[in-house]
Amino acid sequence: MSGQGELSQRRTVLERQWARVVPELKASRRPLGAGFALRHEVTESWARSVETVDPARDSAPVSSRGVHALWSRSPLYEPVNTLADEVRSVADDAGFVAAVTDEDGTILWTCGGRVMRHRAERVNFAPGGCWGEPAMGTNALSLALRTGLPSTVFSAEHLVAALHGWVCYCAPIHGPDGRVLGVLDLSTTWDRSHPLAMSTVRMMASAVEGALRSRAGQAAGTGGGGRLEVTCLGSEKVMRDGAAVHLPPRQLEILTLLALEPKGFSPERLRAALYGERPVSASTFKAEVSHLRRALGGRVTTRQYELTVPVVCDAVEVLRALERGDTTTAVELYRGPLLPYSEAPGILDWREQIAVAVREAVLASTRPELVLRYGKRAPYDAEVHAHALRMLGPGDPRRGIAAGRLTTALRS
């Protein structure tokens, strides 16, 4: 956890900026060139929010719609209830309160320890509370809904002063069609700010999205009987309905290719993706597919090879994150090359495509923390380390990390 002194200093600086900037925004209704402590997205949201939200209000307004009916009809109802014990455990253990909203920012469901829930209820961070930007100004939920990207809002980055004692971590929940259905939020007091909270909330939102895709697949008749979770970036793991599935390398390659290309392969194309020009008999190839089919309970079709069970794959999630411009999630999920020990031609092609896509997104990023995080996994990439160094100010203590990595990379 960040040092309390550092957090306290950051909060003090933000409070001073808030006291200077918010009154000017109320007068001018336009973003200002605020000091170094304020993010551009925060001041822009403040400028929009002051038109409809009083920064002195003490709690969120209450929705005029019946929240029980909203929640029972929500597409998030069953996936969240399925994962509720896991979310509740995280919230209780870490001293957070968790919440799920609809697409408008109305809270539909919360959980957490008694003390944190009581504090949250004081500002109506509870079912029925309206937390969209027009109702409650700048907060992590409203920013995530507006951008479709994960968001953190700390202390006096909130427009409403009553929220300055909080830090909130939020990730949007996308439906199978890409539409934002709501957000999942973890909130706590500012002094409990934790660097792993954002990773946790993104993972939980991703699990809800996986459950949504699974249900959609079952409804469409494309698969029942559970789902698969495939980890293939930097490490290798396959889970089926929560239980580990141990696959030999060749079958793992087949499964990864089928996850990356859900429309499937003809036998000839899959064989080429696995073996290239190597003289491998048709019987050997078909035996590998048959072994995988048995391991998955028959969930691989014949003739045109494709999976008939919903799959959550980290490589697929990285590509989806990049497609929607979410570099933060892509960098978090990209833990290394695709099946690093595989030499199958199809895997080599996907490995390069994913690696290049993530690297280019990092080099285009203006967030030094993302570049530094990626740079930790790319010690010899001088261009990445130089990019991080350019973005870090002269007094930023992280310059030493970037400079050291760049020196090592240039010597290699």
What lies within 8 Å, CB to CB, of 342 at 6+ separation is 249, 253, 348, 351
16/287 Cα distance (integer angstroms): 68
For the cut 70, the answer to whether the pLDDT of residue 386 exceeds it is yes
For the cut 60, the answer to whether the pLDDT of residue 226 exceeds it is yes
199/393 Cα distance (integer angstroms): 26
For the cut 90, the answer to whether the pLDDT of residue 364 exceeds it is yes
Q: Is-contact 136 145, C-beta < 8 A?
A: no
Can you say how many angstroms the Cα of residue 348 is from the centroid of all Cα atoms in its chain?
A: 26
Q: Is-contact 193 1, C-beta < 8 A?
A: yes
Task: Please give the average per-residue pLDDT across 173-189, as a whole number.
Answer: 93
pTM of the model: 0.56
Name the average pLDDT for the chain. Answer: 90
Taking the alpha carbons at both ends of the chain, their separation in whole angstroms is 34
The whole-number pLDDT of residue 219 equals 55
pLDDT category of residue 32 using cuts at 50, 70 and 90: low
What lies within 8 Å, CB to CB, of 278 at 6+ separation is none
For the cut 50, the answer to whether the pLDDT of residue 223 exceeds it is no
For the cut 90, the answer to whether the pLDDT of residue 390 exceeds it is yes
Range with the largest mean pLDDT of 206-215, 302-311, 352-361:
352-361
pLDDT tens column, 268-311: 999 999 999 998 898 999 999 999 999 998 889 988 999 988 88
The whole-number pLDDT of residue 99 equals 97
The whole-number pLDDT of residue 1 equals 42
Range with the largest mean pLDDT of 112-126, 206-220, 228-242, 349-363:
349-363
For the cut 60, the answer to whether the pLDDT of residue 42 exceeds it is yes
Greater pLDDT, 324 or 313: 313
For the cut 70, the answer to whether the pLDDT of residue 193 exceeds it is yes
For the cut 80, the answer to whether the pLDDT of residue 211 exceeds it is yes
